[in-house]
Amino acid sequence: MGITQGVAEFALRGSIADIPDDVVKISKEMMLNGVGVGIAGSTAQASVTVLDYVAGLGGTDDCTILASDQRSTAEFAALANGTMVHVLDFDETFERRGNHPTASIYSAVMALGERDRCTGQSVLEAFVVGCEISTKIGAIGDLDELKSTLFKHGWHLSGVGGTIGAAVAAGRLLQLTQLEMENCLGIAVSLASGLQVNYGHGTKSLHAGRSAMNGITAATLAKKGLTGARNGIEAADGFLGAFRGDVDVDAEKFLAQLGNPYDVIYPGVGVKYYPCATTTHASIFAVEQLVREHSIRPEDVQALHVSVPALGGVTARRNAFPHPRTGLEGKFSVPYAAAVALVFGTPRMHHFTDEAVQDPRIRPILDRLVLTMDEVPTIEYHMPATVRITLTDGRVVEHRALSAKGHPSNPMTTEDLDDKFISCTQEAMSAEAIERTISGFRNLESNPDVRDLFASLGVAAHRK
């Protein structure tokens, strides 16, 4: 069996009865988290820009756009919502996979689910298989490695894997046949893209919106009869050859690992506790531990040394931004995130604005901070950090953090997740609407028609 054929078959088979209970539970939490951070991200500049663009495209008003009275076609609503969910970099992360699939996959299934009045069960099933294919296809050939070849080549896997995952999720909701799903994948591999050079810029979040939109496009065109290469993934001039650089992938092994186990279980998904890039989290956690243990004040700090992994020279060096100029750059700046933790405590969303990165209390800390890339990642702890602080009284204190809160080894509790959702939405939604939304997602599989739930995320969120 070819990889494209096998992926299509996996995407179409099975039902919620075949999906492990913990996969179902985690998937619903991922969607709820995505809605929360999307509503919080609706006012970010990249979101506003994309929403303005969508408004000019016209079309039907079938689908809801988060935190807005504006509605659009399924494709354009997915474009806007995917951008909003990813723009704050507060969505979930599959650390080892380098992927944040919810922004792409949820935005696609939300749009089609509302438009076509799908059941909650069918939306949930589509989301589960879309995420699994998204994260695994981005690491194809390297599922047991620290980082995938695609990541090392500079691809942003939320855009690349997100397009393919969104395509199969949309295809499942559109009830494609096996042949149509293979064509859908052939179309999707030509629409997939996203480059790491845009980390720290608004275009990074556009990758998620565009992949959601392109996934719906691929599935819809396949349903209408457009053909695509039915070996689009494994061909030498297809996905593997172009994105990975070779076709040296054991097809049988790869297909056997789909859903065995699901990536949300192992290597696991982290729902972010801090509203910034995962590369910064262990550093933040280490600073927090030192401040608590030694009662450190910013004025007590003579020098600050932070060490993180180089990760092949891609992420840490590109994302260093030692003196960020914008809030988005701050989200990808290990030095800035560590300085925020030292000066203000746990970083919150308001610390990553264009104004916040210019705070005069932060700049002196950045001037005294040295970032190196001496840490050695492991298969389980992929982004550890060591923070060493030299105090003005001559003492030197140090803490090494393997991970941070939200990592699969230290997951957020249900109460943590609810608190995060409330903090993201309380300025836009009433307490009653927040409670209904949380309950709606926790019981998604029992909903016979998701239209009202998904539609409420626009109007109800916009009118408190």
Q: Give tens-digit pLDDT for 408-454.
A: 999 999 999 999 999 999 999 999 999 999 999 999 999 999 999 99
CB-based contact 276:327 (threshold 8 Å): no
At residue 312, the pLDDT reads 56
At residue 343, the pLDDT reads 97
Nearest-angstrom CA–CA distance, 283 and 360: 21
> Which of 169, 57, 54, 394 shows the shortest CA–CA distance to 66?
54
At residue 63, the pLDDT reads 98
At residue 318, the pLDDT reads 52
Strand 301-309 and strand 369-375: the pairing is parallel
What sections of 88-201 are H helices per DSSP? 102-115, 120-138, 149-152, 157-173, 178-191
At residue 200, the pLDDT reads 85
Going through 265-415 in order, the beta strands assigned E by DSSP cover 301-309, 369-375, 385-391, 396-401
Q: What is the pLDDT of residues 9-66, one digit of tens each?
A: 999 998 899 999 999 999 999 999 999 999 999 999 999 999 999 999 999 999 999 9
Is residue 190 over pLDDT 80? yes
Mean pLDDT of 366-392: 94
Q: What is the pLDDT of residues 191-231, one digit of tens each?
A: 999 999 999 899 999 999 999 999 999 999 999 999 999 99
CB-based contact 250:383 (threshold 8 Å): no
Nearest-angstrom CA–CA distance, 214 and 166: 8
Mean pLDDT of 389-401: 97
At residue 441, the pLDDT reads 98
Of 148 and 200, the structure prediction assigns the larger pLDDT to 148
Model confidence at 274, pLDDT cuts 50, 70, 90, reads: very high
At residue 1, the pLDDT reads 82
At residue 22, the pLDDT reads 97
Task: Kindly report the average pLDDT of the chain as a whole number.
Answer: 95
Q: Which domains does the chain have, with CATH numbers?
A: 3-273+423-462 (1.10.4100.10), 278-401 (3.30.1330.120)
Q: What is the pLDDT of residues 91-130, one digit of tens each?
A: 999 989 999 999 999 999 999 999 999 999 999 999 999 9
Is residue 178 over pLDDT 90? yes
Is residue 462 over pLDDT 70? no
Residue with tokens 């997602």: 441
CA distance to 4, 302, 392, 454, per residue, from 287 (Å): 46, 14, 17, 39
Mean pLDDT of 382-402: 96
At residue 147, the pLDDT reads 87
At residue 29, the pLDDT reads 98
Mean pLDDT of 163-181: 98
Is residue 366 over pLDDT 60? yes
> Which of 100, 157, 148, 154 shows the shortest CA–CA distance to 379?
148
Is residue 319 over pLDDT 70? no
Q: Provide, rounded to the nearest whole percent, the portion of the chain with pLDDT above 90.
A: 91
Model confidence at 71, pLDDT cuts 50, 70, 90, reads: very high
At residue 14, the pLDDT reads 83
- DSSP letters for 374-394: EE---SS-SS-EEEEEEETTS
CA distance to 73, 108, 251, 306, per residue, from 210 (Å): 14, 10, 28, 35
